Homo-oligomer: A and B are copies of this chain.
Amino acid sequence: MKEISYAKTVERWEVLEVTVPGYSDHNPFTDYTIQGRFCSKNEEKCADGFYDGDGVYKVRFMPSFEEPYTFEIKGSFSEKTYRGSFDVTSPKENNHGPVRVADTYHFAYEDGTPYYPVGTTCYVWSLQSQELQERTLKTLADSAFNKIRFCIFPKHYDYNLYEPISYPYEGTPCDNSLLTKDNLYDYIGRAPGNHWDFMRFNPEHFQRFEKRVKDLMDMGIEADVIVMHPYDRWGFSMMDKEADDLYWNYVIARLSAYRNVWWSLANEYDLMLHKNLEDWERYADIICKKDVYNHLRSIHNCKSFYDYSRPWITHCSIQRQDVYKTAEYVDEWRIRFKKPIVLDEIAYEGNIQYGWGNLSGQEMVRRFWEATCRGGYAGHGETYMDPNNILWWSHGGELHGESPERFKFLLRILKETPVLGLTPMRAQWDEVAARADGIPADKGGYYLYYYGFNRPSFREYYYDDLHTYEAEVMDTWNMTITKAGIFKGKFKVKLPGREYMAVRIRCVG
């Protein structure tokens, strides 16, 4: 039997992985268990390990303190108890720790750095060819995106008919040679001809997946991991309770030490007709017990919202419920749920036949600004027709739309907020306005107004007669900031009479 291996030093909030040899007879995924206990002066955590194939077991740990740690690995996979110790070094520049909810409606990294999500969706980018995955990473590196939603399971849907590069289980998939764009819905759920052993994972599938989680982590991008989803022809959406629970435990054991992981219990949970409320609450229970790092947790709807007031839900991961009003509801939802509002799906920029996938870049960016100035966050996706059927929304690749460039401007403005996050503000009926909470008007008050599809030639503002205010006119589409002057008392700001303008006003004296 080989010996235990692990790094002797690890960066704070990075993954310390302990590799241990163990039995590979019987079914190592179900017949053996493994657990590690990690101790330092300031913390003590127990984490489940997992079988990674080839007689190898692993336990992963994310240290939260810069101090010496010891650990002890014990389990039924071996007769030995393994012990070790390591040191934790300070985080590198790009490493701010996991993202947490901060100030009720916003997010910050564990080191206190504000985190303003600008998310995108590429459902199964990590199940495409390695070459395409590399292109996706390159595109992400050049973008403003700092969060990406993607699935562990492959996706079966229009524009998603071919097979993934790997499957999560041992077995063989149904024959897809009869599958066409016209009969794809006949295959929904569990198509005939699938043969899977839901008690035996395919470690290679998960190794690849977590390689991409780590790539994102190194790039400073949060991995919003969609653990379940309904767009399935392999039967992964219809497993029984035993298989589901085994899957959840395995996923948590493998992924939770990655600081950039967010748990999305499901995409469009309400379309998963074989799961009920009891199931979702049980999965949530497993996460709460087994994810010792308390990663962000949510669940994404198609039509009906999940009850986002449930205590285990850290933030709302919303799909808009109305075709016309989407981000416009963010301030109402804030009041209702008292949690960060993330509109992970507000329809995508593109030109496919479906109404959820053929917005203009302008409308997409407008929805982002509406969400922002109402104190929430919107998410991007892109669905342009492509001769090779590579649509960013599912496969990644390159971006073709006009909105992503504008998110860089939005993120810049968000990062210039003098406190953590914007708070919606009572304003005129025909404007959306936000302020930096906690800064009184006369102490450097900070205000952001957004006019969307309205095109005023000017607007008037008034805070008080004592202080001086600087106004800037921002063209959110053309990404320009123009100084409009320094004012006192009631003042008028000229605007160009175009759509998509914002005004930023700061008290300067």
Q: Which residues of A are in contact with B by a Cβ distance under 8 Å?
A: 322-325, 328, 350-356, 358-360, 363, 385, 428-431, 453-460, 497, 499
9 smallest CB-CB distances across A and B, nearest first, come from A355-B430, A351-B497, A358-B455, A353-B456, A351-B457, A358-B454, A324-B325, A351-B455, A355-B454
Out of B354, B385, B458, name the residue touching A497 (CB < 8 Å).
B385
- Say how far A361's CB is from chain B's closest CB, in angstroms: 10
* CB atoms of A459 and B353 under 8 A apart: yes
* CB atoms of B351 and A456 under 8 A apart: yes
* CB atoms of B354 and A453 under 8 A apart: no
* CB atoms of A453 and B353 under 8 A apart: no
| Across-interface contacts of A355 in B (CB, < 8 A) | 428-431, 454, 456
In the complex, 17 of the A-B residue pairs with CB atoms within 8 angstroms, ordered by the A residue number, are A323-B429, A323-B430, A351-B455, A351-B456, A352-B456, A353-B456, A353-B457, A353-B458, A353-B459, A355-B429, A355-B431, A355-B456, A358-B454, A358-B456, A359-B453, A363-B453, A385-B497
Count of identical protomers in the assembly: 2
| Across-interface contacts of A322 in B (CB, < 8 A) | 325
- Say how far A52's CB is from chain B's closest CB, in angstroms: 44
| Across-interface contacts of A353 in B (CB, < 8 A) | 456-460
* CB atoms of A360 and B430 under 8 A apart: no
* CB atoms of A360 and B325 under 8 A apart: no
Q: Given the interface contacts A352-B456, A458-B353, does A360 sit within 8 Å of B431 by beta carbon? A: no
How long is the Cα–Cα vector from A499 to B349 in the complex, in angstroms? 12
Out of B324, B328, B363, B430, name the residue touching A354 (CB < 8 Å).
B430
How long is the Cα–Cα vector from A355 to B451 in the complex, in angstroms? 9
How long is the Cα–Cα vector from A363 to B328 in the complex, in angstroms? 17
| Across-interface contacts of A499 in B (CB, < 8 A) | 360
How long is the Cα–Cα vector from A354 to B458 in the complex, in angstroms? 9
How long is the Cα–Cα vector from A429 to B321 in the complex, in angstroms? 11
How long is the Cα–Cα vector from A180 to B325 in the complex, in angstroms? 38
Most buried by B among A350, A353, A459: A353
- Say how far A356's CB is from chain B's closest CB, in angstroms: 7
How long is the Cα–Cα vector from A126 to B487 in the complex, in angstroms? 41
* CB atoms of B360 and A456 under 8 A apart: no
How long is the Cα–Cα vector from A385 to B457 in the complex, in angstroms? 8
- Say how far A126's CB is from chain B's closest CB, in angstroms: 27
Most buried by B among A322, A352, A455, A499: A455
| Across-interface contacts of A455 in B (CB, < 8 A) | 350-351, 358-360
Out of B351, B359, B430, name the residue touching A356 (CB < 8 Å).
B430
